[in-house]
Structure 1
Amino acid sequence: MNRQPVLQGELVRIAPTVPEEYAALFAVASDPAIWDQHPAHDRWQEDVFRAFFDEGLSGGGMLTIRDAGDGSVIGSSRYGPHDRHADEIEIGWTFFARDRWRRGYNRETKRLMIDHVAPHVAAITFHIGQENRRSRTAVEALDATLLPGTVDVLRGGRMVPHVIYELRRA
């Protein structure tokens, strides 16, 4: 399964992130309002974002999202590692410039990413901070199922409860 595809939609073009895109991605991510509901609410700070960016590059699934019309960098998302034992993959770590919120960019991005990996796995998961209503609402709009319980994830030196949503192949 290719975790670094090039995907094209009407609104977005998604491609593997390269180191040279750091400045453009940080320019988007440096808006504190993007992270206000996110468990890593300090990701707008350059040192925190640098660690996030470097982790994404080394993990091999980081993607840069560009506006299909003008080519500008508008955000990022990732595929997590393919868990062959569980036959699943996680989609997440997504952020968008605020001027792209509620305009279909996130939905199209997720649909393109889901359609790309769905033939290869039984399940696609989304791990979201329990208090992140914005992200939870967006994933619920994809008809993902909320799994019972929470899992604690280390964020900013503290354990933060996350919920897991799932799309399972019939």
Structure 2
Amino acid sequence: MCSEDFDALYGAANSPETWAGHPAKDRYHREVFEPYFQFLVNSGGCLLILDRATGQAIGCSRYYPVPDQPEDIGIGFTFINHRYWGGATNHELKTLMLDHAFQCFERVWFHIAPSNIRSQKGTAKLGARLAHDAELDLSGTPAQWLCFELSREQWASHGAE
């Protein structure tokens, strides 16, 4: 993902429904989304999610270093436009990202805000388990996170479902 993707990605983000249940409920406002987008671009590891049929941007997700598990990788900062909820989009995205990550890493972490029930449920469906909670600085400000862990072995036995 690069700076030129802003308008396309903001088109996927500019609906209040997309951020329902998310801790950043006001991220559909351009002035709130813009610094978030800049953080993602500047941090690297961010992937733009496209609708295969239309080529339209529908969200993004990111690989990131895990502060308390430096030998592992994290996947997160994901959002998908609400029109794509309830289908296969998130599972397909995470399958691609996990298959890629497990070529190099033994474990993948997902850090989820305690109030983000939708993401907790989606992550559990991947086979990840809640390992612990921790205060971590993942985006410039320390915050409390639920830390879900998925090992290569767990993914190999669960991922094909």
Q: TM-score range by the shorter chain?
A: 0.7 to 0.9
How far apart in 1 are the matches of 2:137 and 2:100?
Answer: 29
In the alignment, structure 1 residue 89 sits paired with structure 2 residue 73? yes
* RMSD between superposed Cα atoms in Å: 2.3
> Equivalents in 2 of 1:132, 1:116: separation in Å?
25
Corresponding residue SS for 2:118: helix
Distance 1:85 1:104 in 2: 30
Where does 1:5-154 land on structure 2 (aligned, <5 Å)?
17-81=1-65, 86-148=70-132, 150-152=133-135
The SS at the match of 1:106 is helix
User: Contact (CA 8 Å) 1:56, 1:62: kept in 2 or not?
Assistant: yes
Number of residue pairs matched by the alignment: 151
Deviation of 1:154 after TM superposition, in Å, equals 7.3
Instruction: Give the unaligned 5+ runs of structure 2.
Output: 154-161
Contact 1:83 1:89 in 2 (8 A): no
The residue aligned with 1:169 is: 152
Q: Could you say if the C-alpha distance between residues 85 and 133 of structure 1 is closer, same or farther in structure 2, counting changes exceeding 3 Å?
A: closer
Name the aligned partner's letter for residue 37 of structure 2: F
CA apart distance, 1:143: 0.3
**Highest RCO, 1 vs 2 (Cα 8 Å, sep ≥ 6):** 1
Give the letter for the 1:96 counterpart: I
CA shift at 1:161, angstroms? 3.2
Provide TM-score, normalisation by structure 2: 0.84
Q: Supply the distance in 2 between the matched residues of 1:85 and 1:33 (Cα, whole angstroms).
A: 33
Relative to structure 1, the CA distance from residue 133 to residue 34 in structure 2 (aligned partners, 3 Å threshold; closer, same or farther) is same
- Whether the 8 Å contact between 2:47 and 2:60 is mirrored in structure 1 is yes
For the residues of structure 2 that align with 1:161 and 1:73, how far apart are their CA atoms?
30
Secondary structure of 2:24's aligned partner? coil
After superposing on structure 2, the runs of 4+ consecutive aligned residues of structure 1 that deviate more than 4 Å are 82-85
Aligned-partner residue type, residue 74 of structure 1:
I
One-letter amino acid matched to 1:168: S
Structure richer in helix, relative to its length: 2
SS at match of 1:94: strand
Whole-Å Cα distance in 1 between the matches of residues 8 and 97 of structure 2? 22
In 1, the alpha carbon distance for the partners of 2:75 and 2:21 equals 18
| SS of 1:131 mapped into structure 2 | coil
Query: Structure 1: how far apart are the matches of 2:22 and 2:148?
Result: 16
Superposed CA offset, 1:98-142 (max 9, x none): 111111001000010000111211210000111111111110000
Task: Determine the C-alpha separation between the residues in 1 that align with 2:135 and 2:64.
Answer: 17
